A = this chain, B = another copy of it.
Amino acid sequence: MKDYTTLSKEELLCELQKTNKEYDGIKALGLSLNMARGKPGKEQLEYCMPLLNTPLTSDSFGTNSDYRNYGILCGIPEARKLFSELLECDEDCVFVGGNSSLDLMFGTVMRAYVSGICGSMPWSRLPCVRFLCPAPGYDRHFAICSHFGIQMIPIKLNEDGPDMDAVQKYVENDPFVKGIWCVPKYSNPDGITYSDEVVSRFADLKPAAEDFRIFWDNAYIVHDLYDKSDKLLNIFDELKKRGKEDMAIEFVSTSKISFPGAGVAAMAMSKRNLEDAKKTLTVQTIGYDKLNQLRHVNYFGTAENIKRHMKGLAEILRPKFEAVYKSLDELTKLGIAHYHKPRGGYFVSLYLHPGCAKRTYELAKAVGVTLTAAGATYPGSYDPDDSNLRIAPTYPSKEELEKSLSVLSVCARIAALEVLIKSAE
């Protein structure tokens, strides 16, 4: 096949006719496939079953207190230790919560909204609050902003992380910029890992707002697909060097390590931030599920074992991601797409010819293949180029995935051909 962008109008029309026929063939199949959400597949869930059913016995419920009973707001010491190993930070800085890191992030914004942060004015009392949103990004981060009426400022996400000149300009000049959402390793959806320079520049920030916080959602911290993995600089180490530990709050969970609904989430922050957060958390709950924390501690034991466990999951996931790469490489050769080939995480982010994302999404939907809605990865669901589609390869079987990808390919080609023909007129 030839690069579409070099074809004449006649050749484009001919190519469209052929591709439309392919599309009609697909329509007749009556497919029902889903590549929309970053859910683990069945094989991954089966792989984690031993964790679920390892019995908890009476002699393991803690020495100073009984983990079956009320109390221990910040999580059982063994779980705080395990997460501190994983996050490479002090145990005292770790708060282990329930099953959802999203809930911990929502809670962090909610606390700031109701009570402020470390004595600052509650965000609900301010004329406006703004968050920087590297885009494309995680739609649920943006949904939290919308919920609290927080204005979102999109920031370009480059190959090495967010555009730090823009970040610095906003953070250092606008006292209403109170936060930034970051998925610093294998970002959702691009799979980009922030470079050391970007992380250092984050630590260098001198915010106009004393209650500005970096929301460091390290969702894919150990979610490598290859032995040679991306390395992320430890932001807390960088902050510590500069005496600015209060500036970041890190979030993590085992949702995609053990079970998405029944994992354990944690957050790490400075002691000052944690003391502040506890003022609310102690009103909100007597404590999270310590027995599920214990289940995870008993099964994993160490961060090293978690990493070993992740290698097993990578075996399941790598062939799926490579099927995506293969399919997208073909689109790339046609000159109508580009993408970053991630070495981990849960997504691949496809940039189509401008103006083609919505059309491709609709075409795929009409023949039974559900993708993440076009635009969903941008604040306010507005993709200025109408170009980005997020591909979530983990949930379908490899066979279903390959079928979906071939449908995506046909739909993307049709959309691109239509646009190219129009601009050739």
Contact = CB atoms under 8 A, between A and B. Distances in A.
A42 B146 CA distance: 46
A286 B102 contact: yes
A40 B69 contact: yes
A32 to B, nearest CB: 14
Interface string A138-169: 00100110111000000000000000000000
Given A49-B58, A55-B53, A56-B53, A69 B261 contact: yes
A187 to B, nearest CB: 19
A110 B114 contact: yes
Interface string A16-43: 0000000000000000000001011010
A309 to B, nearest CB: 16
Interface string A264-278: 000000000000000
A284 B103 contact: yes
A110 B111 CA distance: 10
A289 interface: yes
A39 B103 CA distance: 26
Contacts of A98: 98-99, 288-289
Interface in A274-327: 280, 283-292
9 contacts: A39-B70, A42-B66, A67-B261, A100-B285, A103-B284, A110-B110, A114-B147, A262-B292, A289-B292
Contacts of A148: 114
Interface in A107-144: 110, 113-115, 124, 140, 143-144
Given A53-B56, A261-B291, A283-B144, A45 B68 contact: yes
A106 interface: yes
Nearest to A288: B99
B45 A69 contact: yes
A143 to B, nearest CB: 5
Given A114-B113, A285-B102, A39 B69 contact: yes
